[in-house]
């Protein structure tokens, strides 16, 4: 169906928005199909509804086939890169979490070692003084 035959019975309001067959102002909508990627069109609010208005008019000019192919390829690549980016962000988050855990473990180990050495030093000091006391008593 050609655009002209579909839209022959409409008129435009003062703002430039078309008025469709059922008398409603049309809304500017964006197409996301592979053939008309991000191409805008005028459509009735009832467009696509069963027994609704069939008003449809392209707002943007048609894109050449080469551009469609290039845009689709670029979008595919972009989606792939975005997915890889999401995966890498997850991996970085997991690595940072592991790094924090390891840092806390090392810090805890050092604190434990210092406390243990302190206790051993106190024990050694106490055991050294009791030996001196024993030596003093024997003389």
Q: Which of 79, 72, 76 is nearest to 37 (CA)?
A: 72
- Do the Cβ atoms of 27 and 42 come closer than 8 Å? yes
Q: Are 29 and 41 in contact (CB under 8 A)?
A: yes
Q: Which domain holds residue 25?
A: 3-62
Residue 80 sits in the same domain as residue 133: yes
CA distance 83 to 87: 6
Name the strand (E) or helix (H) holding 30. strand 27-31
Per residue in 30-73, pLDDT (tens digit) is 888 877 778 888 888 776 666 667 788 888 888 888 888 888 88
pTM over 0.75: no
Residues 55 and 109 occupy one common structural domain: no
Q: What is the mean pLDDT of residues 93-109?
A: 97
Per-residue pLDDT at 138: 55
| pLDDT tens digit sequence for 15-25 | 577 887 777 78
Backbone angles phi, psi at 123, to 5 degrees: -65, -40
Overall domain count for the chain: 2
């Amino acid at each position: 169906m050609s655009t002209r035959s579909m839209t022959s019975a409409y008129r435009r309001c003062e703002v430039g928005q078309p008025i469709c067959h059922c008398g409603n102002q049309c809304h500017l909508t964006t197409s996301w199909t592979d053939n008309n990627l991000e191409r805008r069109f005028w459509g009735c609010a009832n467009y696509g509804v069963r027994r609704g208005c069939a008003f449809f008019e392209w707002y943007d000019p048609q894109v050449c086939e080469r551009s469609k192919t290039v845009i689709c390829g670029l979008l595919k690549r972009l989606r792939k890169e975005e997915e890889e980016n999401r995966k890498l962000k997850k991996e970085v988050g997991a690595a940072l979490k592991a790094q924090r855990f390891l840092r806390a473990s090392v810090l805890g180990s050092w604190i434990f070692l210092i406390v243990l050495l302190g206790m051993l030093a106190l024990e050694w000091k106490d055991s050294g003084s009791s030996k001196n006391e024993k030596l003093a008593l024997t003389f």
